[in-house]
Amino acid sequence: MRKAVYANALAFILGIAAVGLVAAKPASTSKNAASPPVATATAPKGATLPAKLSQESKDCLDCHQDDNPGLYEQWGDSKHYGANVGCYECHAANEGDTDILKDEDHAEFQIATIVSPKDCARCHETEVAEFEGSHHSKAGRIMGSLDNQLAEVVEGNLGMVTAAFPQGISAAAVNGCWQCHGSVVKVNKDGTLDPATWPNSGMGRVNPDGSEGSCTACHQRHEFSAEQARHPDNCGKCHMGPDHPQKEIYEESKHGIAFKAHEDELGMENSKWVVGEDYSAAPTCATCHMSATSNQSITHNIGLRIKWNNRPPHSKQAHETDKQWGLASASITGDERRKRMEDVCQACHQDNFVDGFFVQYEALLDLYENKYAKPGEKLYNAAVEVLKTDPTYTQFSRSIDFTWYELWHHEGRRARHAASMQAPDYTHWHGTYELARNWQAEFIPEIQEIIHEFKDKAPAQVAKLETVLDEVQNSPDWMWSVNKEDPAAKAEREKRRKEFLERYK
């Protein structure tokens, strides 16, 4: 209820600009700390700016400027500060909130620890609505996925015991998966947040008020800097590593190289930030996926410019995933999303460059799908049917489970993601090369070992597996591996090789 006090006054924050009301600057609490710059704000038509900081927030600052000087300084650098939006305006509890601080210092004010998207929506309604309709806000749904099974069972144990998890939970999941994807935040009987689930700024965090997501996953508290949120490093907490190294891929690409060379020329702190108008030296992740163009507004639904979802074993168009999850954005087709991304590209590139890029990228998707994903899944499923005849078998108890998982989840994703972002070394050496090497050096030998091991134990299932293996190895993509390459194709490749050598005599 208390949060409604400033609802009308705070409605302007979405449109903060470079002129307007200036709040009194807080004094630095450290001799060496830089004084926060004066932040300014302008209210849109019909909104009322608070004339001064609320008494409740002043009371908060009486303690926090001494107890938490870092938070105090960050807030002083923020546009919230310039708009007289303080601790209380964001943290005051709503009726029905369960995460209310019950210690003596906060009892009078009814303070909630977590500021959820539902709280942010009082002023940032459009952004939150877009975010809640995006894949980002649904990242917490990993809880029921194969990845989380790995962290909870295969990698971890039940050794972390808390009030919310008296039977134990895996520290591997708590410290790994949940910190990027988000956890279900559990509130204990005494009002404290369970340490297995808090602190947590995972993108798809499930909050005590029922909302999904965490705005602070990208907009780090308490400064909420636009420049910080637009920086490629902002995405690196989650989008890196063996299965989704978008950060490393970007850094290798021409885009990332240009960013490093021209970072100081991009004006990332500016309120208006339109590619092709306000900057053109380099794009960041935000440029392509979220920020404004001359034809598109800013969006917090990060999937609306992505045609292909390259996360699952088989690439699928992003609107198909949205339909599975019941998102309204399912109505925006993959082709429309591609047009939106092309609009971003065309701020810096000519049409034939953009068209040629998408031909190259989608050809790589076809290669992965037809040479690895389809036959690999067919082989793995047939092998599992054999393994299931052993009552001791369970998923990830055999090496082939890991090999197939990494083929699509690691190498396959890397190849697809890297091609989508023009990073050739990642596409080849960390992608298609490792797909081929691990296919030939691990996957196929493991299939053959299963056939040999179970030949007499499960003859019917082994016969089916042998049939699938024979079909795959004699297919156009794999016949080379059993020395049956098409002679015409081999001759054409040899002709090109000789022409190449002749060129450099």
Task: Tell me 139's DSSP state.
Answer: G
Mean pLDDT of 390-398: 96
pLDDT of 255-267, one tens digit each?
999 999 999 999 9
d(CA 411, CA 390): 29
Measured at the CA of 364, the angle between CA 359 and CA 365, to 5 degrees, comes to 100
Cβ atoms within 10 Å, residue 402: 17
Tell me which residue of 460, 464, 456, 415 sits closest to 439, measured CA to CA.
415
Mean pLDDT of 182-197: 93
Amino acid at residue number 196: A
Does the pTM surpass 0.75? The reply is yes
Secondary structure class of 309 (helix, strand, coil): strand
3-state helix, strand, coil in the chain (%, to 5): 55, 5, 45
Mean pLDDT check: name the lowest of 138-152, 343-357, 423-437, 483-497: 138-152
Q: Is the dihedral of CA 340, 344, 347, 348 positive or negative?
A: negative
pLDDT of residue 71: 94
Tell me which residue of 218, 214, 211, 219 sits closest to 199, measured CA to CA.
214
Look up tokens 């995933």; give the residue: 321
d(CA 264, CA 217): 24
pLDDT of 429-485, one tens digit each?
999 999 999 999 999 999 999 999 999 999 999 999 999 999 999 999 999 999 999
Look up tokens 């298609």; give the residue: 432
pLDDT of 405-417, one tens digit each?
999 999 999 999 9
Judge contact between 427 and 364, C-beta under 8 A: yes
pLDDT of residue 49: 63
pLDDT of 229-247, one tens digit each?
999 999 999 999 999 999 9
Structure-block tokens of residue 308? 């292909």
Cis amide leading into 199 (omega within 30): yes
Tell me which residue of 128, 90, 126, 324 sits closest to 213, measured CA to CA.
128
pLDDT of residue 401: 98
Tell me which residue of 219, 189, 188, 187 sits closest to 203, measured CA to CA.
219
Residue 44, pLDDT above cutoff 90: no
Mean pLDDT of 44-53: 64
